[in-house]
Chain A
Amino acid sequence: MLSHFVVGAASGLYIGDLLFYLVSFILLLLLIKHFAWGPVTKMMENRATKISNDLDYAEDSRTKASSLQAQRQKELDNSQQEATGIVNDARQNGEKQRQTILSTAQDEAGTLKSNAQKDIAQEREDALKSAQNDVAALSIEIASKIIQKELKADDQKALIDSYIEGLGKQNGAR
């Protein structure tokens, strides 16, 4: 056993072992490189690049999502403001329109009223005038009718008679 502490002293230095191990180690290196190391490291590198790509992509989409979110929020705020503006405008417009409609209606009503009053006055006047005309016409007609009656003989005779009787009485009583 002690012989092993004096390296190779017992039965010579086994150079063959050295060569054998060198050659077979190199062989093993090549075999493992071909069958395992190459594919595995390639796979690991692929995975590393895929993971970093995925991370980049995730980061990208995260920023995109947050910017979208901000934009959406802004648009929401804008639309709320807009909505408030629209409602306010509509209210103001409504108020204005109400005022206009009211004033127009009042004006119209005033015009109508004054027109009606005017018409009424006119009509009254017209009526009065026509009544006067009618009275005059009637008077004339009555007068003419009276006059025409005088002209008739009987009436005239009666009238004359009455008239004469009146006269006689007047004389006799006198």
Chain B
Amino acid sequence: MNEETYVVKFLGIPFNITNVISGLAAFAIVFCLVYFLSRNLAMKPTGKQNVLEWIIDFTNGIVSSNIPGEQGKRFNLFAFVLFLFIFVSNQMGLAIQIIVGGTTYLKSPTSDPMVTMSLALMVLLLAHFFGVQRFGVKGYLVNSYLRPVSFMLPIELLEEFTNFLTLSFRLYGNIFAGEVLLTLVGSVAKSHGLITTVVALPLEMVWQGFSVFIGSIQAYVFVTLSMVYISQKVEKE
């Protein structure tokens, strides 16, 4: 799990090498997957193109149900990439974890709070940016914090932080917990030889299946909430 973290300082900035490697792997998998699916496009879609278009339709549906109209169209690509990245990251740790000498080199990137916080930060920055772009600084402030009633201002301000925290820690918590339990079941399997292995194997399988489900749901939830937060900033209240 997180026995040791291998930190590299580059230009005085600390990098957690586990996250960097896992993230690179997730990005590479997403890109290769999409690149592979998008070859040989045709007017009449077949096979892999259908898969890709189904995913695109799915994420477009998430976007358009939260940000209706032309406004939402520019978030389609963002939602698509975000969804795929989180989905792949969630599943990655279930399939493979590389731990060498107590140091984890490859796991689910989303089981690290820094990663989910980065993603949440990115989403909320985008939300504020597009809010300002749409209404101007004054309009953005009024629309975000003083509408519909101005005495909610403290709660609105607090909400900005809770949004960020809940968005990032929901994802992190789910994936991290899944991996923790997987590791625990794994250590049970190794504890007393063959008997515990036989007992732990179906448990592990069941939990892995459940984690696949949770990973998918969490990817969907993260993207949906991202779009909700963005829509709160870019839609008139």
A residues at B contact (CB < 8 Å): 1, 3-4, 7-8, 10-22, 24-25, 27-29, 31-33, 35-37, 39-41, 43-44, 46-47, 50
Q: Determine whether the beta carbon of A16 is less than 8 Å from that of B14.
A: yes
Number of interface residues of B (CB under 8 A): 47
Bound-state Cα–Cα, A43 to B43, Å: 6
Q: Which residues in chain B, 98-155, are within 8 Å of chain A measured between CB atoms?
A: 109, 112-115, 117-119, 121-122
Q: Is the interface of A mostly helix, strand, loop or mixed?
A: helix
Q: Determine whether the beta carbon of B85 is less than 8 Å from that of A25.
A: yes
Q: Which residues in chain B, 43-92, are within 8 Å of chain A measured between CB atoms?
A: 43, 45, 49, 52-53, 56, 76-78, 80-81, 85
Bound-state Cα–Cα, A152 to B181, Å: 187
Most B CB contacts (10 A, CB to CB) among A1, A10, A44 go to: A44
Bound-state Cα–Cα, A32 to B88, Å: 15
Q: Is the interface of B mostly helix, strand, loop or mixed?
A: helix
Q: Determine whether the beta carbon of A22 is less than 8 Å from that of B118.
A: yes
Q: Determine whether the beta carbon of A37 is less than 8 Å from that of B77.
A: yes
- Which residue in A11, A13, A37, A41 is a CB contact (below 8 Å) of B5? A11
- Which residue in B43, B77, B81 is a CB contact (below 8 Å) of A46? B43
- Which residue in B19, B35, B41, B122 is a CB contact (below 8 Å) of A14? B19
Q: Kindly report which residue of chain A lies nearest to residue B15, judged by CB atoms.
A: A16
**Is B7 engaged at the interface, CB distance under 8 Å to the other chain?**
yes
**Is B34 engaged at the interface, CB distance under 8 Å to the other chain?**
yes
